[in-house]
Amino acid sequence: MLNKLFFLSILLIGFSCQNSPDNSLVETDKKNTPGNQLTNEIQAKVDKINAEAESLTVANSLSYQHNDGSSEEVFAYLDKDQHIMKIEEKFKNGKTGDAGIRLFYFENGKRIMSVERFIDAEKAQGQFRERISFYKKTGEVTSTMERKAVYEEDLEKVEFKSVETYDCSMEIAENVLNQKGVFATTFQGFASDGPVDYLIVGGPGESGYASALAVQYADNIFKQLKTNEAKMINTPLSIEFEKMMDERKLEFQVLTGLKIVAK
């Protein structure tokens, strides 16, 4: 069942609810790190969110791919009152080679911490970078600390150092969750894998990201799209989906609901 909720005055639509993914949490060792009373208070709140992760509902976006090798997928973690406590963005930049995750933590709808852990191919010669920023209620960054290592498993052995404040943008994660811009769910055609048809949705044009959903039934809307495929390209769609696992333990997306949105 799809839920609809407001996040930072933006309506989140078209996501699938599931259990927390195995690699959803990034543990960060804060021993011997720069800090003050405010950052310590924020860290305590984040630790509590992570400790209660199993009680949170997870709503995930579509999994998007781009022709240049980029990919995006976002998870929103909600408490029992449907308040977003954490957002996780898994990303790969096909142009720069950067790849990893970004985590955003919230209190009363306000971002209080961001954590990035990724291969920094563009600016750190392929080293792993972990960067943490703390935020005031006004949204202003109060402090940033980071550490780098050649191998990801060695990050835990490196102490954090204070660096110039860095505001980690949530724009891409928001657009993915809201299916906006290059992550819109417009009709982009069909693909087949033997007996299985896939509906392709995504942002229009070459800049758009795409996502494939296995079609397990053919209703009148599916038939309309199939019959008029070329004519219906870029038609806005409203979709519902579920994540499933095949016999090879490979995850795929299954279309469970489809509507044409009036332009």
The identity of residue 37, as a single letter, is Q
CA 204 to chain centre: 20
Instruction: Look at residue 38 in the predicted model and tell me its pLDDT.
Output: 83
User: In whole angstroms, how large is the CA radius of gyration of the chain?
Assistant: 20
Instruction: Look at residue 8 in the predicted model and tell me its pLDDT.
Output: 34
If we measure between CA atoms, which residue out of 249, 220, 91, 69 comes closest to residue 168? 91
Mean predicted lDDT score pLDDT of the chain:
88
Question: Do 243 and 253 meet the contact criterion of CB atoms below 8 Å apart?
Answer: yes
Which letter does DSSP use for residue 236 in this model?
A: B
Instruction: Look at residue 86 in the predicted model and tell me its pLDDT.
Output: 98
Instruction: Look at residue 1 in the predicted model and tell me its pLDDT.
Output: 27
Residues 102-158 pLDDT 10s: 999 999 999 999 999 999 998 988 999 999 999 998 999 999 999 999 999 999 999
Residues 24-78 pLDDT 10s: 445 555 544 556 888 999 999 999 999 999 999 999 999 999 999 999 999 999 9
> Which secondary structure element, helix H or strand E, spans residue 134, and what is its range?
strand 127-135
Task: Compute how many other C-beta atoms are within 10 angstroms of the C-beta atom of residue 130.
Answer: 23
Token look-up 């069909």 returns 190
Supply the pTM of this predicted model. 0.87
Quickly state the pLDDT bin for 248 (edges 50, 70, 90). confident
> Can you read off the two tokens belonging to residue 17?
């609810």
Instruction: Look at residue 3 in the predicted model and tell me its pLDDT.
Output: 31
Domain chopping of the chain, boundaries: 5-168, 184-260
Quickly state the pLDDT bin for 234 (edges 50, 70, 90). very high
3-class DSSP state for residue 57? strand
Yes or no: is domain 184-260 CATH 2.60.40? Answer: no
Q: Provide the sign of the torsion angle of the four alpha carbons 19, 99, 167, 33, taken in this order.
A: positive
Give the separation between CA 7 and CA 69, rounded to whole angstroms.
29
Instruction: Look at residue 9 in the predicted model and tell me its pLDDT.
Output: 32
